[in-house]
Amino acid sequence: MLNIKPKITLVGAGPGDPDLLTLKAVKALAEANVVLYDALANEEILDYAPKTAIRIFVGKRIGNHAFTQDQINQLIVDNALTYGNVVRLKGGDPFIFGRGSEEVEFAESFGIETIVVPGISSIVAVPASQGISITKRGVSESFWAITGTTSDRKLSSDIALAAQSSATVVILMGMHKLAQIIDLFQKEDKGNLPVAIIQNGTTAEEKVGVGTVDSILEVVKQKELGSPAIIVIGEVVRESNKLKGFYEEFLSKEEIR
């Protein structure tokens, strides 16, 4: 009988483009006996795991959960105890709105060795892929990274605070509450503030919509934008050379109106 040493490696899969996976992540996958992967992890990344590795999809979307978080925690532990080396593959970075810390804590409560391989977060990578520098000298001195939907399915109260600042605001998981988000910025008299929404960023299915706080809901409707998407609100959107054509086209339409 083989002497199985349980180990769990929490791996950040990056924002979507498989080329943005880190070398350390590739090495971890190459040694996996089991891979549990999320909906936001590009399935091409699974090719880095051995053909003999067991692959288990544990993705979650709004209204469509393959497993609850408690079930995922138990699956990670059960597979580690049974097969040894488990890679838990999570989209983006596992410690940024990824519940990675909960999974590590649960595994460690069983005395299982855990390793964390950080991933490139969509918070910075997706705006950057569209030429948006979320901090830019003379334009933005800081940025807020906020979840649009809290664990109890409500709008984060931090968004109201962010709307009062001059910082760039980057919101994840906010598309289903976009109207509420926009209302908070309008209450701060920021209707002309530029907004970019990037759906499926860094992938072949990427879609982009650009406008202002006052117009972005119509842009979303016209371009049929949805989840998963990053919402970027701030003057830095106007500074992107890559989006300049989108933004100038939008402004010309506004002038015609």
pLDDT band at 198 (very low <50, low <70, confident <90, very high): very high
Please tell me whether residues 129 and 113 are part of one structural domain.
no
SS3 content of the chain, % helix, strand, coil (to 5): 35, 25, 40
Any domain includes 241:
yes
pLDDT class for 105, splitting at 50, 70, 90? very high
* Final residue belonging to a domain, choices 83, 100, 117: 117
Mean pLDDT of 9-35: 96
Same domain? For 15 and 40 the reply is yes
Q: How confident is the model at residue 253 (pLDDT cuts 50, 70, 90)?
A: low
Instruction: Let me know whether 170 and 191 are in one domain.
Output: yes
Which pLDDT band, with edges at 50, 70 and 90, does 1 fall under?
very low
Asked, for residue 66, whether it belongs to a domain, the answer is yes
Say if residue 105 is in the same domain as residue 230. no
Report yes or no on 189 lying in a domain. Answer: yes
Percent of the chain with pLDDT over 70: 90
Least confident of 97-101, 127-131, 198-202: 97-101
Distance set, CA 225 to CA 74, 96, 150, 156, 177 (Å)? 35, 23, 21, 21, 13
For residue 25, the enclosing domain spans: 7-117
Does 25 lie in the same domain as 38?
yes
Strand partners, 229: 199
Average pLDDT score over residue span 51-70: 81
What is the set of active-site residues? 38, 60, 173
Does 44 have pLDDT greater than 50?
yes
For 57, 95, 127, 186, the CA distances from 242, given in Å and listed in that order, are 35, 30, 11, 26
Are 92 and 145 in contact by the 8 Å Cβ rule? The answer is no
Q: pLDDT tens digit string along 24-35? A: 999 999 999 999
Residue with the larger pLDDT of the pair 132 and 39: 132
Domain boundary among 97, 117, 137: 117
The domain boundary, picked from 117, 138, 153, lies at 117
Q: Is 192 in the same domain as 216?
A: yes
Return the exposure string of 120-134: e unless at least 16 CB atoms fall within 10 Å of the residue's CB, then b: bbbbbbbbbbbebbb
Task: Give yes or no: residues 60 and 167 share one domain.
Answer: no
Q: How confident is the model at residue 182 (pLDDT cuts 50, 70, 90)?
A: very high
Whether residues 248 and 218 share a domain: the answer is yes
The total domain count for the chain is: 2
Confidence of residue 225 (pLDDT cuts 50, 70, 90): very high
Q: CATH number for the domain including 39?
A: 3.40.1010.10
Residues 246 and 128 grouped into a single domain: yes
Question: Considering the chain, what is the average pLDDT of its residues?
Answer: 91
| 73 confidence band (pLDDT: 50, 70, 90) | very high
